[in-house]
Amino acid sequence: MLVGLLALASLTGVVPTPSAPQRYRIEMKAQQEVDLSALGGAKQTTDLGLVGFVTVTMSDTTGGQLAHIVVDSVVVPAGIELPPQMGEPASAKGVFFHGYIVDGKAKGGLKPNQPNQLVAMLAGGVENLFPGLRTTAKVGDTWSDTVKTDSNADGMTQQSVTMINWTASAGANGMLQYDGVANGTSKREGNAGNGKQTVDAKITGTRSLSGPLAGPMQKGTIKAMQDLVVTMEGAPEPIPVTAVTEITFTIIP
């Protein structure tokens, strides 16, 4: 789709004009607790954390804008030990997201150009640079958005529905502040390598964003709490899991 848009721009003489690049700091923190009592084990707690620096370049194109987001570097905070299979921080450098932005939302989403587990941890921050909020919003407005996601990858299918209730208020520098309360459910099932696995989740959370309606947002905080029940083939009882994630991003002046 993007190739077609660029080709059309060339034919019509409308060549995208890049704006000045903007740098962002994105921090992700997560904690997960797995109760293995059903398997005769104890509770296990895992802490993850990552700080990434990205550069965002916007350029005009037919019907909207193109966003190019490049990962400049990734840093693991002191006291955090990531699993070795996630790779070295240097592997994330140069990975990029590219998207077609219309009314502040990435059509088709924003996905990295290559698989990288460290970059995937930053994806929530990248996606919320362009949340696709109501373009006519003004101070005092309230509204609801429903987000549905269906995916099928690596033998696992996932369906999720999340409703976000938004409120717009006056923000800094003449921009609006958007605060959202999220509630949703998710179901993931398929073959996990050691048999059939089903994960049912209840999701709650909050979002606080500030920036121009067309994006990119200039700062944001996204918090999510998940209560999951994991049913594994061969396990005598379902396994409860709780997960708390917080992602913050801030533009670097």
Q: What is the CATH number of the domain that holds 200?
A: 2.30.230
Q: Quick check: 189 and 198 in contact, CB under 8 A?
A: yes
pLDDT at 235 (0 to 100) = 80
pLDDT at 9 (0 to 100) = 34
Least confident piece of the model among 20-34, 143-157, 177-191: 143-157
Tell me the three state secondary structure of residue 235.
coil
pLDDT at 18 (0 to 100) = 54
Read off the pLDDT of each residue in 172-177 and give the average, rounded to a whole number. 88
pLDDT at 45 (0 to 100) = 92
Full residue range of the structural domain in which residue 103 is found: 2-252
96 has a pLDDT exceeding 50: yes
Structure-model confidence comparison of residues 53 and 6, the more confident one: 53
Taking the C-alpha atoms of residue 121 and residue 177, their distance in angstroms, rounded to an integer, is: 25
DSSP β-ladder status, 43-61 and 64-75: antiparallel
Percent of the chain with pLDDT over 70: 92
Please name the residue that has the structure tokens 């959202």.
180
Write the pLDDT tens digit of every residue in 32-81. 999 888 778 888 999 999 999 999 999 999 999 999 999 999 999 998 98
Note the pTM of the prediction, 2 decimals. 0.85
Least confident piece of the model among 4-18, 59-73, 204-218: 4-18
What's the 3-state SS for 67-114?
A: EEEEEEEEECCCCCCCCHHHCCHHHHCCCEEEEEEECCEEECCCCECC
pLDDT at 108 (0 to 100) = 86
Per-residue tokens: 175: 């921009």
- How many domains is the chain built from? 1
7 has a pLDDT exceeding 60: no
